[in-house]
Amino acid sequence: MTGRTSHNALPRDPSSIGTRSRYAALCLLSGLVLVAAALLAVEKFPDTELGRTIDAHLTQLADPESWIQ
């Protein structure tokens, strides 16, 4: 299979590997910032409706049994 319809893989672009790892690190950092902001909101406003709602959702997410429906 060496013709025009070959399934041979194209060579990888070395610069795409660095871009992918930076993107993954940025996604991870963004997720951690979001969770930290939610925890800070719960700690700062524990008796408000927002604080109770966020706390309930985070508690549900912390339970692996709730992930399986």
Nearest CA to 55 among 66, 67, 68, 44? 44
Of residues 4 and 48, more confidence is placed in: 48
pTM, entire model: 0.52
- Output the six-digit token pair for 17: 């590997």
The helix/strand/coil state of 5 is: coil
Measured in degrees and rounded to the nearest 5, phi and psi for residue 24 equal -65, -40
- Please write the tens of the pLDDT for every residue from 6-60: 566 666 666 666 778 889 999 999 999 998 988 887 788 778 888 788 888 888 8
CA distance 31 to 51: 19
Q: What is the pLDDT of residue 26?
A: 94
